[in-house]
Amino acid sequence: MAILAVNAGSSSLKFSLHPLQDGGKVQPSVLNGCIEGLEPGGTPQMDWTFAGQRHQETITTPGESSFQRALARLRVLLGELEGAPTIKAVAHRVVHGGQAFKQSVVVAGTVLEQLESLNSMAPLHQPHNLAGIRSFQQAFPNLPQVACFDTAFHTSLPDVASAFALPQSLTEQGVRRYGFHGLSYHYIMDTLLEQSPRATGRVLMAHLGNGASLCAAVAGRSCATTMGFSALDGLMMGTRSGTLDAGVLLYLMEQGWDHDRIQKLLYKQSGLLGVSGISADMRRLRADGSEAAQRAIDQFTYRVVRESGALIASMGGLDVLAFSGGIGEHDAVLRAQVCERLGWLGVEIDAGRNAEATRDAISAIHTSGSSMEVWVIPTDEGRVAAREAATLLHQGDDEPEQAQELALEGIE
């Protein structure tokens, strides 16, 4: 048996297949892939790896939409793979769980409708996550669909860290800091705890990619994070602005900007792309070499260092620093620059280890004389989602008379 973990976006679908051992323990994936070109009118391209072999193809399966064609081909592929385990459930990454969903849930009843009410809080992700669930419900009608939330890891945030300085009436309505990238942070934290006894102390995790955030954790639990009510807050990102003086938005409104124009600016036209005017891709900016590209890189790095200082101060020091995400895992220059600017804390990294850590493996890059450990942890959100689904369904197997109540367990 296995759990199929999926992450549905606006134009792509990432998937991985995780076998289950006896007792529901989730193993590393045996199948990894991504289908791109799922925008309306697009031509889906599927890239997957199974049994050490990589495959690529253009999907020509008939269907009304690109997503439907992709799902039809994926379903056939899963049946064609020799020796692949039988799928027990589908685990979906869902960015926002709001106040109601504190842990993963089986999608049933009014769950989707409740989650749709959060679309405006994560417009780049939430609508596509939920559309993915609906499509999988149709394509795999006999499999449980499990929603796994990026916000769940941050439910341990203390009130002082989660509340904005707004009237209490708004806080009670749910206007508060939620935090995101929780599936990634869950994986990073678990991995660090396996690798180092110091991870039980004060840990700063940096998930740096097209979406970027930091998370401070003490004793393995989130206590502060840079993203807030939405996935806009905190660090500068690929196309998102990160933290912005609210007065800028008031000014733009006075200039006649409406909601949709402001939303497009903040989510799709800012960040690395907006500052550079070239690209949201850090790799392309590194290769460009222009003054505009360097300005965007410098601003991104500065924001990581600045926000790191704030989170380190909130913990009263630091024992472990971990980099992850597409930029965090592969950009050795950025890691070196961030650690150099945090050098006043006593952090030292080994240049050779840092350069070699661009390979996809767990790597310790600190020197023996460093006051803290520094790690590069390739994240695996799919494995965490699969584990969440397996745990939830295993509970139902143990107590069949309560199976129908599983969909409500994570709702408050």
| Average confidence (pLDDT) over 245-266 | 98
- Longest pairwise C-alpha distance within the chain: 65
- Looking at every residue in the chain, the average pLDDT score rounds to 93
- Confidence check: pLDDT of 276 > 90: yes
Out of 3.30.420.40, 3.90.740.10, 3.40.50.740, 3.40.50.10470, select the CATH number for domain 182-376. Answer: 3.30.420.40
For residues 105 and 399, the model is more confident at 105
Return d(Cα 283, Cα 286) in angstroms, integer: 5
Q: Which of 334, 302, 119 is nearest to 209 (CA)?
A: 334
Active site residues: 150
Strands, sheet with 212-218, edge to edge from the N-terminal-most edge strand: 221-225, 212-218, 202-208, 320-324, 373-376, 363-364
Q: Does 210 count as an annotated binding residue?
A: yes
Amino acid (1-letter code) at residue 172: E
Q: Does 328 count as an annotated binding residue?
A: yes
* pLDDT attached to residue 410: 41
Residues 203/195, Cβ–Cβ less than 8 Å: no
Report residue 398's pLDDT band, with 50, 70 and 90 as the boundaries.
low
2-149+381-408 and 182-376: identical CATH topology: yes
Annotate 196-214 with b (16+ C-beta within 10 A) or e (fewer). beebebbbbbbbbbbbbbb
* pLDDT attached to residue 383: 96
Encoded tokens for 404? 């129908």
Q: Does 317 count as an annotated binding residue?
A: no
Sole residue written with tokens 């497009």: 264
- Confidence check: pLDDT of 405 > 50: no
| Average confidence (pLDDT) over 143-171 | 97
- Confidence check: pLDDT of 384 > 80: yes
- Confidence check: pLDDT of 225 > 90: yes
Query: Rounded to whole angstroms, what are the CA distances from 92 to 39, 102, 322, 370?
Result: 19, 15, 25, 39
Query: Rounded to whole angstroms, what are the CA distances from 324 to 13, 157, 291, 307?
Result: 21, 21, 27, 16
* pLDDT attached to residue 397: 60
* pLDDT attached to residue 22: 78
Q: Does 237 count as an annotated binding residue?
A: no
Helix (H) or strand (E) holding 355: helix 351-356
For residues 405 and 87, the model is more confident at 87
| Average confidence (pLDDT) over 27-44 | 92
For residues 126 and 412, the model is more confident at 126
How many residues comprise the chain? Answer: 412
Residue 267, phi then psi, degrees to nearest 5 = -95, -30
Q: Does 93 count as an annotated binding residue?
A: yes
DSSP strand pairing (320-324 vs 202-208): parallel
CATH superfamily of 2-149+381-408: ATPase, nucleotide binding domain (3.30.420.40)
% of the chain residues with pLDDT over 70? 96
Nearby residues of 307 by Cβ (< 8 Å), 6 or more positions away: 214, 226, 234, 235
Report residue 262's pLDDT band, with 50, 70 and 90 as the boundaries.
very high
Residues 39/22, Cβ–Cβ less than 8 Å: no
Report residue 393's pLDDT band, with 50, 70 and 90 as the boundaries.
confident
Q: Does 281 count as an annotated binding residue?
A: yes
- Confidence check: pLDDT of 279 > 50: yes
Q: Does 327 count as an annotated binding residue?
A: yes
| Average confidence (pLDDT) over 216-230 | 97
What is the tens place of the pLDDT at every residue in 76-125? Answer: 999 999 989 999 999 999 999 999 999 999 999 999 999 999 999 999 89
Strands (E), 261-376: 320-324, 363-364, 373-376
Nearby residues of 25 by Cβ (< 8 Å), 6 or more positions away: 390
Query: Rounded to whole angstroms, what are the CA distances from 130 to 111, 138, 182, 294, 389?
Result: 10, 13, 17, 37, 16
Encoded tokens for 110? 């009014």
What is the tens place of the pLDDT at every residue in 197-212? Answer: 999 999 999 999 999 9
Strands, sheet with 45-50, edge to edge from the N-terminal-most edge strand: 53-58, 45-50, 31-36, 12-19, 2-8, 87-94, 145-149, 105-106
Q: Does 3 count as an annotated binding residue?
A: no
Q: Does 207 count as an annotated binding residue?
A: yes
What is the tens place of the pLDDT at every residue in 56-68? Answer: 999 988 877 888 8
Domain extents in the chain = 2-149+381-408, 182-376
Residues 353/363, Cβ–Cβ less than 8 Å: yes
Q: Does 209 count as an annotated binding residue?
A: yes
Q: Does 381 count as an annotated binding residue?
A: yes
Q: Does 7 count as an annotated binding residue?
A: yes
* pLDDT attached to residue 402: 41
* pLDDT attached to residue 10: 87
pTM of the model: 0.93
| Average confidence (pLDDT) over 23-52 | 91
- Confidence check: pLDDT of 169 > 50: yes
